[in-house]
Structure 1
Amino acid sequence: MGYAFTRDDVAYLGSAAATAALTETGALALTPATLLKDLEQLRRSFGDRAAALVETVRLRRRAVIKLPAAADWLFTDDALQQATPAAVARHRAQRLAGRTIHDVTCSVGAELAELAQVCPAVIGSDLDDVRLAMAAHNLEGRKVLLAKADALVPCSVAEVVIADPARRADGRRTHDPAKLQPPLPDLLAAYVGRDLAVKCAPGLDFDKLAWEGEVEVVSLDGGVREACLWTPGLAESGVSRRASVLSSAGDSWTITDADPDDIPERAPGEWIIDPDGAVVRAGLVRHYAAKHGLWQLDPRIAYLTGDTVPEGVRGFRILDRLDFKEKPLRAELHRRDCGPLEILTRGVDIDPDALRARIKPRGTQPYTLVITRIGRTATVFLCATP
């Protein structure tokens, strides 16, 4: 759960008096092995402030990858977990550049920091007093108006409303739109006729949701981060699904269901390609294949194949193809002096870790197994490990 910050903690941590205390705290290891000893040392110097200092430093260390420019920010544990990575927030802000924006679930301000750079007027609101106080600290110097307000009660005339409902219900992560906080149906009802962008978990059942605008699934550095629901007024004409693949290195790209999806039905090529998770979650595997001259191993499976590998994508060169029979597979791998073994599965009920333990590879050569279903048959592709 993390330390429960108060408004008084926030006021202290944002003051000049806390600067030296945070520097001293930051010089300590603060690892599970040293934490008790470190706390005792800090309590001798800073009394009851020690716990807040420790939690702040530990959260800032965790935030470095997600929010690189937030070295002096304040967070709660939950707020940091829920914060949109800066690269993803920047991508969304670029789509909204030039508009007036109201983030109705602004938390500690991660989204607002990016919006303020490209939008003429930005409002942030939340019901949590502590998070609002932290947002005020984090956004100091930026032109952002902050207010305490209920996300389900419209209180501005901004052109675009952004919301990020909490994805946990009863302490557990949920993919049920009605169990988000605030519930997605209530949020949509509150802003009927308004341009709305709603951040959601990528595991949401978009077809069941019957969304009338655009569903954008976003990945960053190979990991799927979120889905964003864009109402029709914010969606690109003719687009209902989009995959945006972002990279911290800057080489990002996007594909939509308006792109061609005509691909051939052919035998497996020289390579197997596992598309980025955003492409798979957005249902754009065929569109991606068509763009890169690839085709599917099976029409119902997201693995692609071809004779070349798209630039920047990990491909697996096929060495052999076998039916999935464990005993002959184990014998073949031992014959090939198999050592490090990566096992990828899709469309089959196989536990890679359990299978690896039964195969017991003890050799020196690395291999990758791609196990999938072609038609009704479980098929193994023995591949060279990239």
Structure 2
Amino acid sequence: MDAAELAQLLTPEGMALLDRTPSVSDGGEIVRVVSRLRAEGHDPGLVAAVLTQAKLRQKAGAKFGPFASRMLFTEAGLAQATRLQVAAQHAGRFAAAGITRVADLGCGIGGDAMAMAALDLDVTAVDRDEVTAAVATHNLAPWDAARVELGDAADFDLTRVDGVWMDPARRTPGHGATRRLADPDDWSPSLDTVFAAATTTPTGVKLGPGIDRDLIPDTAEAQWVSVDREVVELALWFGPLARPGVRRAATVIGAHGTAEMTGEADAPDVEVGGLGAYLYEPDGAVIRARLIGDLARAVDGRMLSDGIAYVTSDRAVTTPFAQGFRVVDTMPLDVKQLAARLAADDVGTVEIKKRGVDVDPAQFRKRLRLRGRRSVTLVLTRLEGRHTAVLCERLGAVAG
């Protein structure tokens, strides 16, 4: 979407047309809607823009819930936007620290700024892209204390605010398909600019969860966040936004609500031991935060193998920080033996998990030729130095 298309969409005709256009994904239905709208005399460019927005709103429901029905999006902006439930966590940090004037630098379509404004924070949202800034202006319109400025985050006067939230652009500019930028010096603003701001102003930073840990300053609280078992971000917190005594945090959001594990540093490891009656797969946020040792101690567990993020224990424990499984049996990782065993057990559906073995789960599943009625989980890993298949059943009581 370019500036001209957005300007057309933001007219009374365009917004009225968008509000009464259903979200459609079926090709035939899309053709019928396009034909109907054009027959009504609407400009073809406006019709295309409206249909694109209708599809993006439908897709955005997973991140923004009912708010999506009144928001505008770009394809790239939606892909990079913070989920509203995570943005609420960010906003809560600023409110808890007593910070009332916040700059959201690199605001994108305004997801984080929306959450801040909803907590009555005074928000100045800044983005260097004209279309993105206009979309953010629309999305923030319900809040009088939020405003959008077009500009470069690196040039913003930090003395205007009490705290800063930064989401450096880590992809090439554009509103559609973009390319990831690997070098932090190429981000906008650069990581050096971000960390320089953090030395003078309470600062929160959103980064990709897979960032090189060597880039994380010792002065920051590093918080990895997962939603429904997907690790979605690394947030760094500086100054009063960082919690005393916390340098590592794993925040896990799911059906259970929000749970958190914290530490003063990476957790010390636990010993490797024999396979117990239960197997635990730590949440990705726990793994990224390197708090697996604390999780293992919480379930009276031990590591299954060196360098592999599976924990085993002799008791079942309910925890939102891991998925739990009851161990049924172990077998050599041999597809023919496994196929015969699963056929004998009337297994037709297999969930495959793997760590420490070079296996394509989709291809492996095809080779098993499953036809039964039961379901099991196969954990493919190394056990005592040997490639092993662990037959498991999920612990239904494990939260998350």
TM-score, length of structure 1 as denominator length: 0.89
CA contact (8 A) 2:14 2:46 kept: no
Cα 1:364–1:175 shift into 2, 3 Å = farther
| SS of equivalent residue, structure 2 residue 27 | coil
Alignment RMSD (CA, Å): 2.5
Q: What is the match of residue 159 of structure 1? A: 162
- Matched residues in 1 for 2:295 and 2:162: separation? 33
Q: CA deviation at 1:173?
A: 3.0
- How far the C-alpha of 1:320 sits from its partner, in A, is 0.8
Instruction: Name structure 2 gaps, 5 residues minimum.
Output: 396-400
Query: CA offsets, 1:160-187, max 9 Å, x none?
Result: 2111122325943355433433332343
Match of 1:21 among 11, 17, 20: 17
Return the match for 1:254 from 250, 257, 260: 260
**Mapped contact 2:379–2:391 kept (Cα < 8 A):** yes
Tell me the residue number matched to 1:293. Answer: 300
Matches within 5 A, 1:180-195: 180-189=187-196, 192-195=199-202
Q: Percent identity?
A: 33
| CA displacement at 1:278 relative to structure 2 | 1.0
- TM-score using structure 2 length: 0.86
2:367 maps to 358
Determine helix, strand or coil for the equivalent of 2:158.
coil
The secondary structure found in structure 2 opposite 1:131 is helix
Deviation of 1:67 (Å): 0.6
Q: Is the 8 A contact 1:370 1:383 kept in 2?
A: yes
**Pick from 57, 60, 72: which aligns with 1:60?**
57
1:199 partner amino acid: K
1:225-304 aligned within 5 A: 225-247=232-254, 249=255, 251-258=257-264, 263=270, 265-304=272-311
Deviation of 1:263 after TM superposition, in Å, equals 4.6
- Tell me the amino acid that sits aligned with residue 215 of structure 1: A
Contact 2:198–2:238, Cα closer than 8 Å, also in 1:
no
* Equivalent residues of 1:175, 1:203 under 8 A apart: no
In structure 1, what is the Cα distance between the partners aligned to 2:394 and 2:192? 46
Gaps of 5+ in 1: none
Rounded to whole Å, the distance in 1 between the matches of 2:135 and 2:362 is 43
Aligned counterpart in structure 2 of residue 168 of structure 1, from 168, 171, 178: 171
CA contact (8 A) 1:273 1:309 kept: no
Question: Which deviates more from structure 2 when the two are superposed, residues 359-368 or residues 323-332?
Answer: 323-332
Match of 2:343 in 1: 334
Deviates more, 1:105-114 or 1:127-136: 127-136
Q: 1:39 to 1:285 in 2, by over 3 A?
A: same
In structure 1, how many angstroms separate the alpha carbons of the residues matched to 2:183 and 2:275?
A: 38
- Judge conservation of contact 1:238–1:258 (CA < 8 Å) in 2: yes
**Counterpart residue number, 1:43:** 38
SS of the residue corresponding to residue 34 of structure 1 reads helix
